Structure 1
Amino acid sequence: MALLPHTAQAASSYPVPRPITGQQIIHDPTVIHLKSGGYAAYSTGGIIGARLSKDGKQWDDAGNAFAEPPSWWYEYNNTGDPWAPDISYRAGKYWLYYAVSSWGTNHSAIGVATSRSGLPGTWTDHGKVFTSETTDHWNAIDPALIKADGKLWMSFGSYWTGIRMVELNERTGKAVPGAPVHHLATRPDLPYAVEGPYIVKHGRYYYLFASYDACCSGVNSTYKIKAGRSTDIKGPYVDSEGKPLLEGGGDLVLEGHGRFIGTGGQSVFQDKGEDWLAYHYYDAEDSGTPKLGLNKLSWQANGWPIVL
């Protein structure tokens, strides 16, 4: 369907997620096709909850990334509860970024762990990557990595003036000391309800996907996925009408439709040369239970993404 991305799309015309079986419950998924074959998905819930699949359709509960929370997590919440992981492969190993925080505060931290296999139970934690405090104008949660211009970048952010980005040291995987914190997207009004960034390169553009409005309220969630693009990784990002994401712009990519409520917490992964959008939705036919959504991500002739 060749709808322009800024054209309002009837709920009935959004594609349904790819049918999956097994353990479907997930929140804030990050998915990767493992070098050893099969797929791994990590998520908010548990000590970074893990799902494994041989074919991307049948998913099995695989426990947690860690057997127990690293002790430093308790500086940021009293349950050692991590959020919104991001998995990538670089320099011969898998890198798992995640956030630790408490609801309603930007006293937050992003951490990183590495593994040779990417499988649950094999991760070694390396501590803090980047932090925020209540005096900062950003919130250090929802990390996502991208390599661009010969450098490693981490986008992040939730509310607190929106989406930010900082350069990482490629060897350590941690923020370059003193590196500027770039501002990529926000909303014009409090509480600046945009979070969960993910940046991908397609053609000559970098595309910033983010979750807008409210998550985590079951069938009352209003989460939706929007996008903008830029020829420079640092921005400015604009939507298809040229409105900057720093001024509340953003093309609607996917929103709630039918039983699939509050689509968001998204990430993008490549599989056999194709781009896939992974996200969670709240199932209106199952008491608002959060479940894994997978849709192929295609690119229109005008360069803008569309979900199939």
Structure 2
Amino acid sequence: MLLVGTGSASTQIKLNDRLTGDLVPTHDPVLIREGGTYYVFGTGTAGQDLSSKTSPNLVNWTAQAPLFTKLPDWALAAVPGTKEMWAPDISFWGGRYHLYYAVSTFGSNRSAIGLFTSPTLDPKAPGYGWKDEGMVLMSKESDDFNAIDPNHVIDRQGKHWLALGSFWTGIKLFALDPKTGKPRDPATKPFSIARRHAPADAPAPVEAPFIIDHGGYYFLFASYDYCCKGVNSTYYTVVGRSRDIRGPYVGKDGSKLIDGEGTIFLRADLQEKERFRGPGHPGFLHDADGTDYVVYHAYDKQNHGAPTLRIAPLNWGADGWPVADY
């Protein structure tokens, strides 16, 4: 947080209020740093699959060429009608960056998760280039989950997992083979770790999981209610924690994410502001200096509801729970 002022008067300027550059459009962002450059990747638009933005300082952002301009052939065959890649997740392990992403059509659970890998994120660096590792897993109309919004996590025992899900019966956790980054046993059912409950003929809005390890707990973040409606979006993000990565995840008051509850982490701005609506789909970065950040999108009421990049420092309270300085 920047302090500006003279004498005894000072004004605290939050990181979100300092962001400049190509902040729009941004949907479903993830944040990572390689060397002196920060990267934000997000959902693409038709013909521009997976957006890319870079910054030298987390403040000034410049749009880059999209990571891809064509969907893989396997994705077009697996999910007819899909037009772009959604909701990327980026992590580094095994000497390569692993970029998970989803392909789907709106409102359908005929969806798939794909994977690209590259030794570097810098297009100018030797060896740069994304290798298509193909399909990771898929959901069909007969399944009770939706294979979008992937998040890769390695637990304290070195086991690899993929959290994912949107609507249907909620957020699932799949065990992965660390050599391939794909399910260790495709026949094994995933663990259910978060779910909203609704009447049989009504939606159950929960999606966008992200798991981080801190202070002996795994923290699961998930977004509730509706995105993608501009200023009418009702998205907000909750958090719960568990000693076991498989759950159960509970909020501060003991309420369970598997029951559609938890502790609110991101919500629409304060009543007196009400500018950035529907904050959600968070990603997290533990930076080299030890600072934690949350990246997310929100809809700017002063810019026709445009989906906008938002970044905030993540502080850990004395009670061990995360608080976003947004």
TM-score scaled by length of structure 2:
0.87
Distance 1:254 1:231 in 2: 23
C-alpha distance 79-246 of structure 1, shift in aligned 2 (>3 A): closer
- Aligned with residue 164 of structure 1, among 138, 147, 172: 172
Distance 2:219 2:254 in 1: 14
Aligned AA (1:102): T
> SS where residue 285 of structure 1 aligns?
helix
| 1:244 aligned onto 2:251 | no
How is 1:127-142 mapped onto 2 (pairs within 5 angstroms)? 127-142=134-149
Aligned-residue offset at 1:18: 4.8
- Aligned with residue 315 of structure 2, among 294, 298, 307: 298
* Unmatched segments (≥5 aa) in structure 1: 1-14
- Equivalent residue number for residue 29 of structure 1: 29
- Equivalent residue number for residue 40 of structure 1: 39
* Unmatched segments (≥5 aa) in structure 2: 1-13
1:120-169, CA deviations, whole angstroms, 9 ceiling, x for partnerless residues? 67211111111101111110000001101220001000001111110111
Higher mean alpha-carbon deviation, 110-119 vs 64-73, is at 64-73
| Alpha-carbon contact 1:208-1:229 (below 8 Å) kept | yes
Aligned-residue offset at 1:304: 1.1
- Aligned with residue 298 of structure 2, among 281, 284, 287: 281
CA-based RMSD: 1.4
How is 1:257-272 mapped onto 2 (pairs within 5 angstroms)? 257=269, 258-271=274-287, 272=289
| Alpha-carbon contact 2:248-2:256 (below 8 Å) kept | yes
Aligned AA (2:112): A
- Equivalent residue number for residue 224 of structure 2: 212
Distance 1:27 1:119 in 2: 22
> SS where residue 65 of structure 2 aligns?
strand
Aligned-residue offset at 1:53: 1.1
Distance 1:93 1:250 in 2: 34
Distance 1:16 1:193 in 2: 29
| Alpha-carbon contact 2:82-2:103 (below 8 Å) kept | no
| 1:179 aligned onto 2:191 | no
C-alpha distance 98-188 of structure 1, shift in aligned 2 (>3 A): same
Count of residues in correspondence between the two structures: 293
| Alpha-carbon contact 1:223-1:263 (below 8 Å) kept | yes
Aligned-residue offset at 1:86: 0.3
Higher relative contact order, chain-length normalized (CA < 8 Å, sep 6+): 1
Larger Rg: 2
| Alpha-carbon contact 2:98-2:118 (below 8 Å) kept | yes
C-alpha distance 18-98 of structure 1, shift in aligned 2 (>3 A): farther
- Aligned with residue 233 of structure 1, among 245, 254, 257: 245
Aligned AA (2:52): A
Aligned AA (1:40): Y
C-alpha distance 155-79 of structure 1, shift in aligned 2 (>3 A): closer
Distance 1:16 1:142 in 2: 26
C-alpha distance 122-80 of structure 1, shift in aligned 2 (>3 A): farther
| 1:125 aligned onto 2:135 | no
| Alpha-carbon contact 1:225-1:253 (below 8 Å) kept | yes
Aligned-residue offset at 1:79: 4.6
